[in-house]
Amino acid sequence: MDWLVAIPEFLVNEILSVPAFLIGIIVAVGLIALRKSTGQVIGGAVKATLGFLLIGAGAGLVVASLDPLGIMIQGATGAQGVIPTNEAIVGIAQETYGAQVAWLMILGFAISLVLARFTPLSYVFLTGHHILFMATLLTIVLASAGYSGTVTVLLGAALLGILMVALPAFSQPFTRRITGDNSIAMGHFGTAGYVAAGAVGRVVGGKTSRSTEELKLPEGLRFLRDSMVATALSMVMMYVVVALIFFAREGEAAYEAFEGGATSPGNFVMQSLTQGLQFGIAVAVILFGVRTILGEIVPAFQGIAAKIVPGAIPALDAPIVFPYAQNAVLIGFISSFSGGLIGLAVLSLWLNPALGLALILPGLVPHFFTGGAAGVYGNATGGRRGAVAGGFVNGLLITFLPAVLLLVLGDFGTANTTFGDTDFGWFGILIGYGAALGSWGGLIVIAALGLLILGAAILVQRKVVDGGWDPSPHRPAVGTADDTAAGPSSASAGTAAGTAGQYPKITPPKGAPTPPARP
């Protein structure tokens, strides 16, 4: 009977949890449905896979450049606590619940496709590693509450399937405000932070706050319009300042922040400068990967829409919105990290002494990816003020929610790490406290919660998304991704410069309802 466990574990761990392979398979299926030639199917699938591998390579470079900075920030501030890391908590849980997670993930993905086919929520969630993360969270929470393996898998799979089609619907009006159409959706479990950023941006931005992509610089600073240069120089400044503070506090012990250590004060500073430059390279790689994947997956979804899920919309990872407002990514990251520091201060001075909540240290990786995306959403509805406020709110959310989530993770609450993004926080907390009501009472509450989310998403889809609601109609239209190295070129247009052909749009199949255009 070992093969019953080995097969799903192989599918999950080696294929479905690897976004590049999952995307390649989906693109191949779409191109086959379009009756493309064998060469076109193979070429499209391989190119889509390479695009996601580029995103992964860029993400790896981001992590490598941020790790030493995180060490130096902790050393410079003296803060001690829990750093939310999805990969770490998932790795720990796999040792105990690997088989349950595997079955829950596979069944949940199947349920999401059924819901996408037979409900108005025609979103196909393609961020494979986040599906694995949410499957792990649901398994931990339900199993820790005492539910059997069968109940955990069946109930967790239903909840996972609902989230995979519901959350993209909640964020779609804001995503459409960024992209200009319904060709893609947000498929990332940081959705609550992005919706909050868009909502806050709408409030604080008004009509006067100009887009982050319209920054006007003196002639001598025109080079900063290149987003890669601006990002790299900003990170160099942050790195060097933190490094100097850390060195002033720790002396030569600060050298250990870098792998292999540093050999002198000058070498320590230059390594800091180099890491900042490498961060700029990492962001450029991510953006190139996004362009590559969009060029393949969006046309392929014509086949998915026509043959499998009519009107299907691919829900993709957070960096998918980065090219649409590259300056906002950096602003959102810095604002989110600032929110994390403020949240840490609140936890330290008040919530930890009063309620015993753990101290959540701001992890630079989640703050970069979710904060950067939050900055884009905030900018879309509120310009520069929106980008700052949206990133800041996201930073608070990914600080306070993980602190409360630790209370419902059972034995894993003492693992010195936890899930970081907003949707893991609020949903895990609700499921955890619902399950605490007892066997049957907990099941009823959890099932009702899942149905409530599904019903609310269907209502939002029909009334808000299909109704063409614009969260910020008083602001100039946006939706053109920035594909140039020089950055935005027309402040008066209110859009980023770029080549529209890099971002093809889905043409609905014959007979399928056409999504309403954004007003």
* Domain-located, residue 517: no
Q: In the numeric block, which tokens belong to residue 86?
A: 């999805």
Contact 351, 406 (CB under 8 A): no
In a domain, 516, yes or no: no
pLDDT in the model for residue 517: 36
The answer to whether the beta carbons of residues 484 and 497 sit under 8 Å apart is yes
What tokens were used for 5? 């466990």
- State the DSSP string of 158-184: HHHHHHHHHHHHHHHHHHHHHHSSSS-
Rounded Cα–Cα distance for residues 35 and 304 (Å): 12
d(CA 394, CA 453) in angstroms, rounded, equals 21
Q: Residue 515 falls within a domain, yes or no?
A: no
Q: Residue 270's domain spans which residues?
A: 8-477
What is the pLDDT at residue 507?
36
Exposed/middle/buried for 512, CB within 10 Å: 0-12, 13-18, 19+? middle
Whether 212 is in a domain gets the answer yes
- The pLDDT value given to residue 495: 30
What pTM was computed for the model? 0.76
The pLDDT value recorded for residue 503 is 34
Q: What per-residue string of b and e applies to 225-237 under the rule 16 or more CB within 10 Å gives b?
A: bbbbbbbbbbbbe
- Tell me phi and psi for residue 96, to 5 degrees: -100, -40
Token pair recorded at residue 334 = 């810095």
Which phi and psi angles does 148 have, rounded to 5°?
Answer: -70, 165
* CA–CA distance, 24 with 14 (Å, rounded to integer): 14
Distance CA 19, CA 125 (A): 11
- Return the pLDDT at 473: 83
Residue 70 confidence (pLDDT): 76
- CA triple 90-91-92, angle to 5 deg: 90
Condensed to tens digits (0 to 9), the pLDDT of residues 250-261 reads 888 888 888 888
Q: What pLDDT digit, counting tens, does each position of 121-147 carry? A: 999 898 877 888 899 899 999 998 889
Cα–Cα separations (whole angstroms), residue 487 to 59, 215, 319, 323: 22, 10, 17, 10
Report helix, strand or coil for 398: helix
- Tell me, yes or no, whether 501 lies in a domain: no
Is residue 508 a part of any domain in this protein?
no
Average pLDDT over the chain reads: 81
Q: Is residue 323, in this structure, part of any structural domain at all?
A: yes
Count of structural domains, the chain = 1
Q: Could you tell me the mean pLDDT of each successive run of 10 residues in the chain, 519 residues long? A: 72 70 80 86 88 77 77 73 77 78 83 93 87 90 90 95 97 95 93 97 86 73 64 80 88 87 89 87 77 72 69 89 89 93 91 84 84 95 94 96 90 76 95 87 94 97 94 73 38 29 35 36
The answer to whether residue 384 is domain-embedded is: yes
CB 487 within 8 A of CB 326: yes
